Amino acid sequence: MRGKTRKKKHVSFLLAVVLALAVVLIANLRSEKYPVSTSGVALADECYGNCSCTDYAHEMRPDLDFIDANAKDWGVIAEQDGYSVDSDPDPGDIAVFQPGVHGADSQLGHVAHVTADNGDGTFNYNEKGFCDIPYDGSWGDRCAVHPNSNTVVPGVKFIHQQAGDPNAVLDSNVSVHPNPVTGGQAVSFDFSIRNNGGNTAAMKEIFVRCTTDTSAEWKAWATPQNIGIGEVKSFTASGDTWAEQSGIWHVLEIIYKDSQDNFHSVPANGYLLAQDFTVTNPDTTPPTGSFVSAPEAQ
């Protein structure tokens, strides 16, 4: 009897050890995963990309680049710097989620870019940095922009734009045509821009900036348009290519000059901006004024 009792105790001890190791292993696997999205959906089985929600918030609101802190602290820091921070969402705001609210990280919190106030206690927003929805893999990429929606609850605050600030962001992919283009002929770029800001985006100039691997630069100009609050305007930028610089060209950014002569780079907002086009058939007669130095965006 004693032998059987010892054997049972030995087996029970081994089972307890195995169970404890399994719990530790599962905990470690979970700790390596990224937090759930504010949608509350479970984590994906495969996560990739090394982008954060704060990087995306800085991209959409470069006026907040003075904030270098965890997401949960953004509201306090912005308010100390004179920004209006409250519980009423507006397009263009940065939503600040406190830890654990709507599935935000339990220690760091979360930030996102507000795209709409739905008027029913909910708001829409875009976010990066999360990895979830394992069923179709659509949220496996932490560097992709994901649209989301949630309710306004305690623990969510909104950093408003300073009075009068426009917030022009890309609202479509940039299409290039023709591609390839014969050197010396015109190439065009079609795109749309949305103003998520609190005032009209007044434009004196707007252009697409392109470059080559050899650092040659070229601009295609569009007709400037003022964009009202919440409005979307379509643009076509075009210009004659310089055949002497044949080869692969890269679309770098869209820049506009405001009424105060400040230059602004338009954020991609999750749309396709950077892409390539090909100039063929070298010619030694460049069109006047096509290649100029690009000003630095602010």
pLDDT tens, position by position, 129-139: 776 544 344 55
The tens digit of pLDDT for each residue in 211-231 reads 888 878 889 999 999 898 788
- Residues in Cβ contact with 198 at an 8 Å cutoff, skipping those fewer than 6 apart: 90, 92, 160, 161, 162, 163, 164, 165, 166, 167, 229
Of residues 65 and 48, the one with the higher pLDDT is 65
What is the pTM assigned to this prediction?
0.49
pLDDT for 208 equals 95
The tens digit of pLDDT for each residue in 78-118 reads 999 888 999 999 888 999 999 999 888 889 999 999 988 99
Is pLDDT of 120 > 90? yes
Phi, psi of 154 (to 5 degrees): -55, 140
Domains by residue range for the chain, with CATH = 53-159 (3.90.1720.10), 168-280 (2.60.40.3880)
Helix (H) or strand (E) holding 32: helix 2-32
**Cross-strand partners of 263:** 257
Helix (H) or strand (E) holding 83: none
